[in-house]
Structure 1
Amino acid sequence: MKKIILLVMFSLGTLIYSQTEHCQLKELIALNGAFPLSKEVEKQVISNYKKKYGHVPESAWAPIEKKINIDPLINQVIDVYEKRFSEKEIDDLLIFYKSDLGRKVIRNSPEMISEIQKASADWAMTVTETINSDLEKMGYLQSLPPVRSDGPPPPMQQKNK
């Protein structure tokens, strides 16, 4: 009997700890702005589809809206964090994101990410131009392929000698 009671107590303790960690991770994700933890996302998604499919009557959307639920996605995002951070690290991150510096990081992250993406794209364009130009000068390209910003350059053609 004592073993059963201990087992039940251990199971409850694990469940409570798991729920607490789950709640802490939800708070962390909401604070750091990495992922929108909101039922509003469901409404925004449906709204976007309503605009896209303007010919569909409003009455058709009600049963569809009932099927759209962000909770499974939120749980997957929480799992991603759980795999990478210990309980202590989660506590430390919560403290950080609640601090003045943490709030500053959150405020500036979207703009910083955008600037970093632009700088990366510009750098990649320069690298592509340099490589293509040098290969053309060496005779490995018949002509420079058009520079595209939406992916890697097309395959290079070797000059016939």
Structure 2
Amino acid sequence: MRKKIFLILVFGFSLSVFSQDVLNAKRKKIEQLLEISGSAKNGIFVMNSLMNIYKKQYPNVKQSIWDDFSKEVNEKDLANLIIPIYDKYFTESDIDNYIAFYKTEAGQKMIENLPKITQDSMTAGQEWGKEISNKILQKLKEEGY
């Protein structure tokens, strides 16, 4: 009986260690994907763009406050938030394929242009939002609100 319990415990422990190794291997691949694709860097780029918008909205705020905030933001923290999301939605095979893609010429072009696309998209989205907001306000005014 003790032998059976011992074997069950050893087997269970072995599965746990194997499972952890698989998770660590996948995590390392996700980290590699984030590095190759520049995803975390692009997130920091978006954050900096938003901060510039806030700077314009709050021109009286001292630069040192913005500098202090910038020091608190780093790619590693963002990557640690993103990794479980990639793990949830992509298999290890998917991740391998994305890594392979980003090593191609088309993938490199995507990486190079994504920050510019993101910036232009944010600007277009802001303009679009203003237009919609103005239309809603105009309609409400016409209706007597």
Assess same fold via TM > 0.5. Answer: yes
Measured in 1, the distance between the counterparts of 2:17 and 2:119 equals 45
Q: Does 1:25 align with 2:30?
A: yes
Is residue 83 of structure 2 the alignment partner of residue 78 of structure 1?
yes
- Partners in 1 of 2:137 and 2:15 — Cα distance? 64
TM-align CA RMSD? 2.9
Q: 2:135 aligns to what?
A: 130
Q: Distance in 2 between matches of 1:129 and 1:116?
A: 20
Question: Matches of 2:136 and 2:79 in 1, distance apart?
Answer: 43
Larger RCO: 1 or 2 (CA < 8 Å, sep 6+): 2
Cα-to-partner distance string for 1:65-102 (whole Å, 9 max, x where unaligned): xxxx9766543321121122122211121111122111
1:12-37: CA deviations, max 9, x gaps?
A: 3222211111110110111111114x
Query: How far is 1:127 from its partner?
Result: 1.8
Mapped contact 2:40–2:75 kept (Cα < 8 A): no
Deviations 1:94-139 (A, max 9, x none): 1111221111111101110111111111112222222333333x35
Give unpaired runs (5+ residues) of structure 1. 37-50, 54-68, 141-157
1:34 aligns with 2:47: no
Q: Which residue of 64, 80, 91 maps to 1:52?
A: 64
Q: Which amino acid in 2 is paired with 1:97?
A: Y
Considering fraction of residues, name the structure with more helix: 2
Of 73, 77, 87, 2:92 maps to: 87
SS of 1:102's partner is: helix
75 and 122 in structure 1: CA distance in 2 versus 1, 3 angstrom threshold: closer
Count of aligned positions? 113
Q: Relative to structure 1, is the Cα distance of residues 28 and 104 closer, same or farther in structure 2, using a 3 angstrom cutoff?
A: same
Larger radius of gyration: 1
